[in-house]
């Protein structure tokens, strides 16, 4: 019998989970609970996943009911041993949380203050923690923050050119997808040991998309900022646009704050430009010129922002693709890299089509890799480390928002 760690990644419409052997951090099972319209279904994979393809969860089940089912039923079905801790992905930790931390009441109060900065994610992350607390109050919980990895950035990379008083109040560029970038930083030691500590730009491309420039495997700059709306064009999010356009929509078109927020977060990006879908696979197969234009704009914006991050990190030695689109769309990888040929980013077409770990041409100076995302392993690792130190009262570190002097 082995003890296990449960990792939860809760979104607005899905509950993703993974179970790890707490001793060796071997993956036992991963899965997702999602609403298919006629009730919830559970899809699982991994060595300890059950033989059937899906498990029923009662239609209309609340998040606490889903988590209760997972804790009391699925855990005993998927693994043969007790749960010893739960690790959570929490999207926003602000400038306060620089590392994973043990959950307590004071933390939850602080995290609630970040809900306006990540309204599509933060409430669900907090609700998951509260649900576990209600069902298993003695089970240790660890919060791992998507913003924490970027706290190594120089202050100039975190500042907006706003009045100093607003910066002092915490209106800074936080950045997101940090758990994904932390996994890339760790994986580079094995995947590309000769270049791991050089000038690296990682592209997390999925429904949400961003870039991160690293040096010595630490974040130097990133494209997302105060919220996850800044930066690259995404599935349904606009990414960066002229702030004057927002003023125009509100002042001259009479749009409300809520309407503009819905436009920029839910009706823009690949979906908005194509008018068809936010799914790259559907757009790639469509004969509609608007679909091709949406994909072209996505590649253009990504390449343009990579050029910006090259200035921030002082060049480029290694480019990494990760995330659902980054891992699976060879066509978009090729389209992005073609726009970077001037920087000696040149792909090997055969390797790119196969999605091999290294997809750059042998003669290219810049090495290009594909590294599958694995935020769950990062969370499980932090959870094991922090719960092992609970007896000594060890917790995650907090970092106060830097003052502007």
Distance CA(386)–CA(405), nearest Å, equals: 34
Backbone angles phi, psi at 98, to 5 degrees: -95, -10
CB atoms within 10 A of CB 145: 30
3-class state of residue 283 by DSSP: helix
Backbone angles phi, psi at 365, to 5 degrees: -70, -45
- Would you give the DSSP letter of residue 294? H
Distance CA(394)–CA(102), nearest Å, equals: 8
Asked if 237 and 268 touch (Cβ cutoff 8 Å), the reply is yes
Backbone angles phi, psi at 219, to 5 degrees: -70, 130
Cα–Cα distances (Å) from 129 to 27, 42, 138, 178, 381, in that order, read 22, 20, 12, 20, 18
Of 95, 81, 177, 91, give the one whose Cα is nearest residue 128. 91
Distance CA(209)–CA(64), nearest Å, equals: 29
For 89-158, the DSSP string reads EES--TTTB-S-EE--HHHHHHHHTTGGGSTTTHHHHHHHHHHHHHH-TTS-EEEEETTGGGGGS-HHHH
Phi-psi region of 37 (alpha: psi -120 to 50; beta: other; left: phi over 0): left
| Catalytic center residues | 146
Distance CA(6)–CA(16), nearest Å, equals: 11
């Amino acid at each position: 019998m082995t003890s296990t760690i449960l990792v939860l990644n809760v979104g607005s419409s899905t509950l993703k989970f993974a179970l790890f052997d707490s001793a060796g951090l071997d993956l036992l099972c991963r899965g997702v609970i999602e609403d298919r319209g006629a009730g919830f279904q559970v899809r699982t994979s991994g060595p300890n996943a059950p033989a059937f393809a899906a498990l029923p969860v009662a239609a209309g089940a609340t998040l606490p009911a889903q988590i209760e089912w997972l804790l009391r039923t699925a855990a005993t079905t998927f693994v043969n041993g007790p749960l010893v801790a739960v690790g959570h992905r929490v999207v926003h930790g602000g400038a306060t949380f620089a590392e994973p931390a043990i959950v307590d009441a004071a933390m939850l109060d602080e995290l609630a203050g970040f809900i306006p900065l990540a309204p599509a994610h933060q409430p669900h992350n907090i609700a998951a923690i509260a649900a576990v607390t209600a069902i298993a109050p003695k089970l240790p919980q660890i919060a791992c923050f998507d913003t924490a990895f970027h706290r190594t950035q120089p202050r100039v990379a975190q500042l907006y050119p706003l009045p100093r008083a607003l910066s002092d109040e915490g209106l800074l560029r936080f950045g997101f997808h940090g758990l994904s970038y932390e996994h890339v930083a760790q994986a580079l030691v094995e995947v590309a040991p000769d270049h791991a500590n050089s000038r690296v730009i990682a592209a997390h491309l999925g429904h949400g998309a961003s870039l991160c420039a690293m040096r010595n495997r630490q974040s130097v700059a990133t494209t997302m900022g105060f919220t996850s709306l800044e930066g690259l064009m995404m599935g349904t999010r606009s990414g960066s646009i002229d702030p004057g356009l927002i003023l125009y929509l509100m002042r001259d078109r009479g749009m409300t704050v809520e309407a503009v927020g819905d436009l920029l977060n839910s009706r823009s990006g690949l979906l908005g430009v194509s008018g068809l879908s936010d799914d790259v696979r559907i757009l790639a197969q469509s004969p509609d010129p608007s679909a091709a234009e949406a994909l072209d704009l996505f590649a253009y914006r990504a390449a343009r922002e990579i050029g910006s991050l090259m200035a921030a990190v002082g060049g480029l030695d290694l480019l990494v693709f990760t995330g659902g689109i980054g891992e699976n769309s060879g066509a978009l990888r090729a389209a992005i890299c073609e726009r970077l040929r001037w920087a000696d980013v040149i792909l090997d077409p055969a390797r790119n089509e196969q999605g091999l770990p290294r997809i750059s041409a042998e003669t290219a100076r810049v090495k290009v890799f594909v590294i599958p995302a694995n935020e769950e392993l990062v969370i499980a690792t932090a959870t094991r480390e922090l719960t092992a130190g609970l007896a000594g009262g060890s917790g995650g570190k907090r970092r106060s928002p830097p003052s502007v002097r």
